[in-house]
Amino acid sequence: MDSQTKTEPMRVLVTGGSGLVGKAIEHVVKQEGGCLEGEQWTFLCSKEANLVDLQQTRAVFEKYRPTHVIHLAAKVGGLYLHMKENLHFLIHNGPPHDSNFGYSHAKRMIDIQNRGYFEQHGRRYTAVIPTNVYGPYDNFNFENGHVLSALMHKTYAAKKEGTPLQVWGSGTPRRQFIYSLDVARLFLWVLREYDEIDPIILSVGEEEELPIKDAVEMIADALDFKGQIVFDTSKSDGQMKKTASNAKLQRYLPDFTFTPLSEGIKKTCDWFVNNYDIART
């Protein structure tokens, strides 16, 4: 995220505007009053510009002249896509665990790059680090989607076909999940109020970390799935815990209220069912 100046109305360019977090930010900006008077918001998707191409990137900046950039465009995916294409994630995004070392190193290099730009050029970039994000407009593909979105699609299909729900892994790894609209609301706060170069973690508290099997049960309830749930332990669990502290966020925003996981799952499942024809599957 790039923050240049607060002395003039913001012209905000959001890359990755058609993805999970981009769509959530667009919702908050356009439907929750997130756009202040005089501001201009542009949501850019990959069909409009390939930001890996330097000439196209320059053309985008010359056209929109942004004062602020929320850079979301990236190659993303779930555990099994990370395991299969680690090199692609490293190359296209810029090892805490063998399952996703490419993606992890690419993300960590962002912080180093931000520090370098500030020290050498005085540019104010920072990195926002959400934990496991879920919500409408995610990729619900069985193999390549994030864990909750893939499970929602699998549960929907199992109910429709009258078959057991096959969950890859044991269901015992623990994760902290954050609803995409919560992430979007926090992104706007970061854009307007957070001045540090050091990154900030956007996450529910450590006490909200729970086993994936608990989330599976919430999804089954949300979709009214009554069938058998089978955990395929021949599939990798990935990292067993990725506990993140939100202490820094709590110091800044002690009264921020996160959407309860069961509520967010229900809203996302409802969106998926009602928008199945346009969802990424």
Task: Answer positive or negative: Cα dihedral of 203, 208, 212, 216.
Answer: negative
Tokens of 25: 């930010």
Active-site annotation holds for 194: no
Helix, strand, coil shares of the chain, percent, nearest 5, are 45, 15, 40
Average pLDDT over residues 129-139: 95
| pLDDT reading at 8 higher than 90 | no
Contacts 24+ apart (CB under 8 A), 88-96: 92/52, 96/239
Q: Of 64, 80, 103, 276, which one is the catalytic site residue?
A: 103
pLDDT in tens, 231-240: 999 998 888 9
pLDDT in tens, 142-153: 988 889 999 999
Tokens of 56: 């196209």
For the question of whether the overall pTM of this predicted structure is more than 0.75, the answer is yes
- What percent of the chain stands above pLDDT 70? 85
Give the pLDDT score at 82: 47
Which of these, 137, 114, 147, 131, lies nearest to 183 by C-alpha position? 131
**Is residue 106 within 8 Å of residue 87, measured between CB atoms?**
no
Indicate the pLDDT class of residue 102, thresholds 50, 70 and 90.
Answer: low
- What percent of the chain stands above pLDDT 90? 72
State the Cα–Cα distance between residues 208 and 225, nearest whole angstrom: 24
Residue with tokens 């608990």: 214
| pLDDT reading at 95 higher than 90 | no
Give the pLDDT score at 110: 84
Average pLDDT over residues 249-269: 98
Tokens of 248: 């820094």
State the Cα–Cα distance between residues 114 and 120, nearest whole angstrom: 10
Residues making up the chain, counted from first to last: 281
Average pLDDT score over the chain: 88
112-121, 162-171, 172-181, 225-234: the lowest-pLDDT one = 112-121
